[in-house]
Amino acid sequence: MMMLFVIALAAAPPPAKVDPCNGSDTRSMAQCMDGKIGRATARLKHYRAVAFNRFHGEGAGQDAATAKALENSAVSADAYRTTYCDAVYQQWIEGSIRYAMHQGCTLRLIDRETHDIWSDFLSYIDSTPPLLPEPKPTP
């Protein structure tokens, strides 16, 4: 009987990954999401810097106008993300979920911008390998 249990246990699929931010209390979930947002923000800054450096300077492949436009777009993207996610917060102002909704919005937009930078400035239309790996949603 024990042998059947061991075989069944070994054949069972691995447990599904559980998002650690789906905790049991608001405070721990918020702290977890703050950690995700911090990691996503650091990655976004890195992808922005690599994209900027690709175009900054003199010589072949350098384009000061694109580098400046990337700098300007970062300021605009940060302002848009703040304003947009503040609107999400306002929509949920009456509920205790308002902060979680704001954090989810912030993380989603940071991840989206990171992917857009990768797609538009760090990868190529031919078979040239991208400068950085394709970013996946922040774990």
Tens of pLDDT along the chain (139 residues) come to: 555 444 444 555 555 566 667 767 888 889 999 999 999 999 999 999 999 999 987 665 678 899 999 999 999 999 999 999 999 999 999 998 999 999 999 999 999 999 999 999 999 999 999 999 999 999 9
Rg (CA), the chain: 21
Q: Report d(CA 80, CA 26) in Å as an integer.
A: 26
Q: Report d(CA 105, CA 40) in Å as an integer.
A: 12
The alpha carbon torsion through 9, 10, 12, 15 (nearest 10 deg) reads: 90
DSSP label of 16: P
Q: Report d(CA 73, CA 79) in Å as an integer.
A: 10
Q: Is the pTM above the cut of 0.95?
A: no
